[in-house]
Amino acid sequence: MPAVPFDYEAPRTLQEAVELLGAWGEEAKPLAGGQSLVPLLTLRLVRPRVVVDLAGLDELKGVVREDGMVRIGALVRHRSLERGEGPLRLCPVLQEAASLVGNVRVRTLGTLGGSLAHADPAAELPAAVRALDGEIVVRGREGERTVPASAFFTGVLATALRPGELVTAVRVPVLGERTGWAVEEFSRRAGDFAIVASVALVQLDPLGRIAGARVALAGVGPTPQRVESVEAALRGERAAVETVREVVAACPLEIDPESDIHASAAYRRHLARVLTVRALGRALLRAGRSHREEDP
């Protein structure tokens, strides 16, 4: 089925793109890698008057380290994330999450900014940015603003972007010492969207106890969900997989998944606990190895 007719614009600067999107408002759609927008156009699920192609905007392709953070341009490809090119090596959580996205063709074209703006609740990268307490930098005619990941995702395929705004960059913290990470997911086939995914970060204190933990889940609600009850219960506990199992089993998970053709709500809840234990367990092992490597 061909897409509905639309005008096509290929701005050469970010300012030109912002002006075009601002002028057309909700009747415009920005095009990054096209891995989300093109299927929607083909299925006629979106009907923009104009598509604004961002591919030529080199301003959105840079990666720099600044103030303990890594600022990643919105047009950085999944494949670059997966490979950890340049400063992206400082973002191992995003590396692992990106490696689970689609197949190599999708990863070669898809972009970080596009994935976040699309806001699929089963996608890995939004959950990873949520676990990292990342920040999404957006720009419109009225200027630039920064939205914390906790406020950026507002519903299924819905974000805090205003008409005429686009994602220009993502800022995530450089992980501290004695910190481990892991991404675990369950999908029917390799490369499919996750039925449930769990992204975990664990930091150990000098005594080898859990100084802090963060867990974000995908596929269990309309947005990536943080599991704050588990995070709070793990703080100060002994760094052991047995501790993780006990805490995850005892804590109520702040999720309310729905049943669909892929899985029942009960099965998604079960997967959330299993995958969270696995992700936290692997994160603990990585944090422990980092701890030992620092010892003289």
Q: Say yes or no: 140 and 204 in one domain.
A: no
Q: Say yes or no: 160 and 240 in one domain.
A: no
Q: Say yes or no: 201 and 252 in one domain.
A: yes
Q: Say yes or no: 158 and 250 in one domain.
A: no
| 99 in a structural domain | yes
In this predicted structure, what is the pLDDT of residue 232? 97
**Listed residues 104, 139, 173: the one ending a domain:** 173
Chain position carrying tokens 């063709």:
105
Count up the domains in the chain and report the number. Answer: 3
| 2 in a structural domain | no
Q: What angle do CA 7, 8, 9 make, to 5 degrees?
A: 125
| 1 in a structural domain | no
Q: Say yes or no: 203 and 274 in one domain.
A: yes
CA-nearest of 7, 44, 1, 47 to 23 is: 7
d(CA 250, CA 139): 43
In this predicted structure, what is the pLDDT of residue 291? 47
Q: Say yes or no: 228 and 142 in one domain.
A: no
**CATH code of the domain containing 77:** 3.30.465.10
In this predicted structure, what is the pLDDT of residue 296? 35
**Listed residues 173, 191, 225: the one ending a domain:** 173
Residues 167, 154 contacting (CB under 8 angstroms) = no
| 111 in a structural domain | yes
d(CA 269, CA 129): 22
Cα torsion for 129, 130, 131, 133, to the nearest 10°?
A: 90
Helix axes 241-250, 265-294, angle to 10 degrees: 150
Residue 274 DSSP label: H
Q: Say yes or no: 153 and 192 in one domain.
A: no
| 121 in a structural domain | yes
**Listed residues 173, 193, 219: the one ending a domain:** 173
d(CA 253, CA 217): 10
In this predicted structure, what is the pLDDT of residue 293? 47
Q: Say yes or no: 169 and 267 in one domain.
A: no
**CATH code of the domain containing 248:** 3.30.390.50
**CATH code of the domain containing 27:** 3.30.43.10
In a 10 Å sphere around its CB, with 0-12 CB exposed, 13-18 middle and 19+ buried, how is residue 266 labelled?
exposed
The number of residues making up the chain comes to 296
Q: Say yes or no: 18 and 37 in one domain.
A: yes
Q: Say yes or no: 194 and 235 in one domain.
A: yes
Residues 93, 84 contacting (CB under 8 angstroms) = no
| 192 in a structural domain | yes
Q: Tokens for 124?
A: 């890995």
Q: Tokens for 236?
A: 């100060």
Angstrom distances, CA of residue 180 to CA of 17, 68, 170, 202, 207: 39, 17, 21, 5, 16
| 288 in a structural domain | yes
d(CA 169, CA 5): 30
| 47 in a structural domain | yes
Strands lying side by side in the sheet with 69-73: 63-66, 69-73, 166-173, 135-140, 143-148
Q: Say yes or no: 91 and 44 in one domain.
A: no
Residues 188, 196 contacting (CB under 8 angstroms) = no
User: Tens digit of pLDDT per residue, the chain (296 long)?
Assistant: 667 899 999 999 999 999 999 999 999 999 999 988 988 888 898 999 999 999 999 999 999 999 899 999 999 999 999 999 999 999 999 999 999 998 888 999 999 999 999 999 999 999 999 999 999 999 999 999 999 999 999 999 999 999 999 999 999 999 999 999 999 999 988 878 899 999 999 999 999 999 999 999 999 999 999 999 999 999 999 999 999 999 999 998 889 999 999 999 999 999 999 999 999 999 999 998 754 444 43
Q: Say yes or no: 277 and 257 in one domain.
A: yes
Q: In which domain, by residue range, is 35 found?
A: 7-53
- Phi then psi for residue 53, to 5 deg, are -80, 120
